[in-house]
Amino acid sequence: MIVVTTPTGTIGQQVLKNILDSEQPVRVIVRDPSRLPSQTRQRVEVVQGSHGDIDIVNEAFTGADSVFWVAPPNPHAVSISAVYSDFTRPACDAFRRHGVGRVVGVSALGRGVARNAGLVSASLAMDELIVSTGVSYRALTLPSFMDNILRQIEPIKNQGVFFSPVRADRKLPTCATRDIAAVAARLLLDPSWSGQDSVPVLGPEDLSGNDMAQIISEVLGKPVRFQQIPVEAYKARLTEHGMSAAMAQGMADMMAAKSEGLDNAEPRTPQSTTPTSFRQWCEEVLKPAILGQPAIN
Ligand SMILES: NC(=O)c1ccc[n+]([C@@H]2O[C@H](COP(=O)([O-])OP(=O)(O)OC[C@H]3O[C@@H](n4cnc5c(N)ncnc54)[C@H](OP(=O)(O)O)[C@@H]3O)[C@@H](O)[C@H]2O)c1
């Protein structure tokens, strides 16, 4: 039995799609089952509720061989640890109680090097909590997603610009969520691994904001530039859009750490290099989104 959390989320829905092609029994935890495609609802077992709820995870993890774990974003949280460790604590009890075989979790790059890195530090603390249960665990250690650029469709479309507090020339790995989902599905379907380890998913190359602007411009056939903004202005923008002070600070600390090279510490290897290039992602996801067409996923 494979249990999938956040089956309506960006990564979770692609993980689910990948494992539904197998013969394996699949259970999902979902707050609102009507948000799942009807074909999916017929194929999977549904536990309705939040995976932050002890009763729900006790029900869902009964007889589970593997679990796909995502701590959901919460822009209104009172603290960053509330989003990661506190949300994950009931699941950790249930991993132990039900003797769950393997857990594959969504995390971040930075193990051993992150200092005051906001959301990244909170995510790594969540990994430590999961590891402390003794369950076999693979933390998918991720750079910033290419898909984050979709939040800036308006400025890209209307002003030909996108923003980040990261230095314009800082080359960083970036990955497509489809590649994360492919790696997660492979691990969930493979019963042969055990122990606890990290699995970095680095995309095919390191790119700066300026490199990305160049590629976006070529794919869209119009000039788009990258604009670095001060961390304080970035934080103010997040709170203006309704984010809590604690989450905005966590985002700001994370971006400052990335600007200083947090995501460059993980050496690139053939195993951590994943196929979807930023150019391909722009052609298949960003451009259709800008033109208001369905993306190829
Ligand atoms: N963006 C990045 O660059 C980056 C980098 C590294 C790691 N990450 C991590 O990636 C994760 C986010 O993954 P994603 O982009 O796939 O998420 P997403 O698209 O934002 O989806 C969020 C999912 O969480 C569910 N959800 C929201 N609040 C919930 C709650 N209180 N209880 C139960 N379910 C809830 C949503 O379900 P509903 O349908 O019920 O709303 C949805 O399925 C985060 O843990 C983040 O730290 C992100």
What CA dihedral angle connects 194, 198, 204 and 205, to 10 degrees?
-160
What integer pLDDT is reported at residue 10 of this predicted model?
Answer: 98
Looking at the CA of residue 123, tell me the nearest atom of ligand 1.
47
Contact 124, 161 (CB under 8 A): no
Q: pTM to 2 decimals? A: 0.98
Number of Cα atoms under 13 Å in the Cβ half of residue 132: 12
Going residue by residue through the chain, which has 297 residues, state the pLDDT in tens, using 9 for 90 and above: 999 999 999 999 999 999 999 999 999 999 999 999 999 999 999 999 999 999 999 999 999 999 999 999 999 999 999 999 999 999 999 999 999 999 999 999 999 999 999 999 999 999 999 999 999 999 999 999 999 999 999 999 999 999 999 999 999 999 999 999 999 999 999 999 999 999 999 999 999 999 999 999 999 999 999 999 999 999 999 999 999 999 999 999 999 999 999 999 999 999 999 999 999 999 999 999 999 877 766
Burial-class residue 136 by CB neighbours within 10 Å (0-12, 13-18, 19+). Answer: middle
144 lines ligand 1 (CB under 6 A): yes
What integer pLDDT is reported at residue 297 of this predicted model?
Answer: 64
Contact 133, 89 (CB under 8 A): no
Q: Which of 6, 80, 84 to mutate to test the pocket of ligand 1 (most atoms within 8 A of CB)?
A: 6
Looking at the CA of residue 144, tell me the nearest atom of ligand 1.
3
User: What is the C-alpha separation between 149 and 263, in angstroms, rounded?
Assistant: 18
Q: Which of 15, 16, 31 to mutate to test the pocket of ligand 1 (most atoms within 8 A of CB)?
A: 31
31 lines ligand 1 (CB under 6 A): yes
Tokens representing 181 are 């989902």
> In this structure, which amino acid lies at residue 2?
I
With CA atoms as reference, report the closest residue to 125 among 77, 183, 86.
86
145 lines ligand 1 (CB under 6 A): yes
